[in-house]
Structure 1
């Protein structure tokens, strides 16, 4: 699905600048529908010679490039032509500075859907993630970059803490402002993060003697189409004598909550020393471990030192039947992927903005595990929401600026309006139509161009735009006096032109 805005990756070296804060797609398109790509630069227009937007439909085997038009301020736009339903279109923006340096910038992708009634496929990437690092069992830059690079749709996340802000800010940074999440209780909580709405969620008691408040989290995710997916996020004990009892508890909870024919995934940090221990044997009475993810060197271990298979994405039989190869940077992994940014043989995989040392960051817990599943959708008649792009704005420092942002959905779906400058934006969710309000009073330090991205999301489809706000300096008293004096002089000389 379209990413409303994609986090920047920065180039190494002082002379290399990144194309800024966000990229946005005007719409999640249908058959043959063109898309406007918004690219927001972090350099003023006088420092940018040109902005290029490249796009591909075959994993960058072939590429088409267009020069983006300068809309105003920091905002550039480019048109990508329409493609057929089911086509995945990947885009990348870069800019040529007036200093002659060409710098890479943003990447993003979207999938073309159909309103003609033909069948389309929604691919859901599920990730098990205990990727905290540092000293506080909290998510930091390395783990966040891995999320941004792998672009999971649903994450069973462990140690769901963030020292640098709120959990909402962590989700916005690592995944996007349109993502949903639920978070359990405890000092090292489990949780679920989802691209699509979470219909229901809760937690089940855990018996871990070391972390008795680390409950198991579950959520029901509204996958586009008629089939929902139940996600159970777990973090089992490091004590091998406790794990069999935890596994029995989990299987009892799952059997009580969900039907055996439903799509269910249990994912997370099982702390299993090997794939034959008793806890896994119990879990496999419901879930399958027949597809065992591995990295490009065929190592299926997920511990920090790559010696133990601690982390899993286990699917029920109904869900396992939907598994498809997980593809990253054109490399397909039939059983799923254990991601380690340090692996370089037989080849390296560093989807931007991942850095080679991220998986080896200080106190990095484990490696991420991903599996992809395909969900045929029978709701292809659903249309994207329509976001009415607000006009670009000018405001004098110290003066209040406010304007409405309006979105509508012809199918009456629930609409979520988001803004890249969330602190200054208010928009309650509503079905069919919604109006948000952006309000800001810039100060003296804000003089110059600013760009904000607005995104409307409804039933997994999106519409977005970028708006430039130019903050002008407050006219000084001396400037006003000079203007009045010049006007008076012209009148004394008989010049009666308009002042």
Structure 2
């Protein structure tokens, strides 16, 4: 959850993607930076990034603290951000917003089309669905056709705000695969830190991609950095 392409253990090329809900930067920012830098992602998908006043500067500063660069998102995607390292070429980027339900937070999604020189393009999507059980399925219903319209292999990092037995998971995994289940770690919680009881964060991957590793990152720094643990995949 691009482009630090590295030699994977299977002998091919792999890319590291990290998805991370950063709790609106309310926690230990030094620990947060150490977590991300230690994971060295090629692509970072962030939920609850800055989305209001001076959001461009705040998002750029956050990316700098991670040793990364802003690719897309922020206010236009309601706090969903995609960051990359320097080896990634951003071919395109766009955002969508879900309809506003009165009394609820407005939410959205960020999309990027990326390429490492000499490699085929791929798409990365980030979103954060509603905490409301009635509102959330409608958001997932709008997200699915937007994902299905992408021709390139796609990776989606998201906070679904529901466990895998909820109704949005089967809708969004109709085309994509749940990296945790592929890795046999479907029982690993991601929220709340430090004793997670719910898996509400996911990395969904295109079947054309091979999941070589999946991890819930539950280090001491991660305990201090957010109320969610980050999740990581290495993909071929």
Instruction: Give the TM-score normalised by the residue count of structure 2.
Output: 0.82
- Residue 233 of structure 1: how far off its partner (Å): 0.3
- 2:217 is the counterpart of 1:372: no
Q: How many residues align?
A: 223
- 2:222 is the counterpart of 1:359: yes
**1:302-348 Cα deviation digits (max 9, x unpaired):** 002301001000012112xx2213xxxxxxxxxx000111xxxxxxx
Structure 2 gap segments, 5+ residues each: none
Q: For the Cα contact (< 8 Å) 1:180–1:198, is it kept in 2?
A: no
Corresponding position of 2:191: 303
Match for residue 62 of structure 2 among 151, 170, 173? 170
From the superposition, tell whether residues 201 and 290 of structure 1 become closer, same or farther in structure 2 (CA, over 3 Å).
Answer: closer
For residues 291 and 306 of structure 1, the distance between their equivalents in structure 2, rounded to whole angstroms, comes to: 15
**1:109-142 Cα deviation digits (max 9, x unpaired):** xxxxxxxxxxx8432111111023664xx88222
Q: More strand by proportion, 1 or 2?
A: 1
Q: Once superposed, what is the RMSD of the aligned Cα atoms? A: 3.1
Corresponding position of 1:249: 142
- Residue 282 of structure 1: how far off its partner (Å): 0.5
Q: For the Cα contact (< 8 Å) 2:72–2:83, is it kept in 1?
A: yes
**1:440-499 Cα deviation digits (max 9, x unpaired):** xxxxxxxxxxxxxxxxxxxxxxxxxxxxxxxxxxxxxxxxxxxxxxxxxxxxxxxxxxxx
Q: For the Cα contact (< 8 Å) 2:24–2:48, is it kept in 1?
A: no
- Residue 191 of structure 1: how far off its partner (Å): 1.1
**1:128-159 Cα deviation digits (max 9, x unpaired):** 11023664xx8822222110111111111111
- Residue 161 of structure 1: how far off its partner (Å): 2.2
From the superposition, tell whether residues 251 and 170 of structure 1 become closer, same or farther in structure 2 (CA, over 3 Å).
Answer: same
Corresponding position of 1:394: none
The secondary structure found in structure 2 opposite 1:301 is: coil
Corresponding position of 1:218: 111
The secondary structure found in structure 2 opposite 1:149 is: helix
- Residue 172 of structure 1: how far off its partner (Å): 1.7
For residues 137 and 8 of structure 2, the distance between their equivalents in structure 1, rounded to whole angstroms, comes to: 45
Match for residue 23 of structure 2 among 103, 107, 132? 132
From the superposition, tell whether residues 372 and 246 of structure 1 become closer, same or farther in structure 2 (CA, over 3 Å).
Answer: same
- 2:53 is the counterpart of 1:160: no
- Residue 188 of structure 1: how far off its partner (Å): 4.9
Match for residue 156 of structure 2 among 242, 256, 266? 266
From the superposition, tell whether residues 203 and 188 of structure 1 become closer, same or farther in structure 2 (CA, over 3 Å).
Answer: closer
For residues 86 and 281 of structure 1, the distance between their equivalents in structure 2, rounded to whole angstroms, comes to: 33
- Residue 180 of structure 1: how far off its partner (Å): 4.3
Match for residue 72 of structure 2 among 174, 182, 205? 182
Match for residue 207 of structure 1 among 95, 99, 117? 99
Structure 1 gap segments, 5+ residues each: 4-84, 89-119, 326-335, 342-355, 375-499
From the superposition, tell whether residues 307 and 208 of structure 1 become closer, same or farther in structure 2 (CA, over 3 Å).
Answer: farther
The secondary structure found in structure 1 opposite 2:61 is: helix
**1:362-392 Cα deviation digits (max 9, x unpaired):** 8x22010011112xxxxxxxxxxxxxxxxxx
Q: More helix by proportion, 1 or 2?
A: 2
**1:238-284 Cα deviation digits (max 9, x unpaired):** 1122221111111111223x12xx31011121111x21211111101
* Larger Rg computed on CA atoms: 1
The secondary structure found in structure 2 opposite 1:198 is: strand
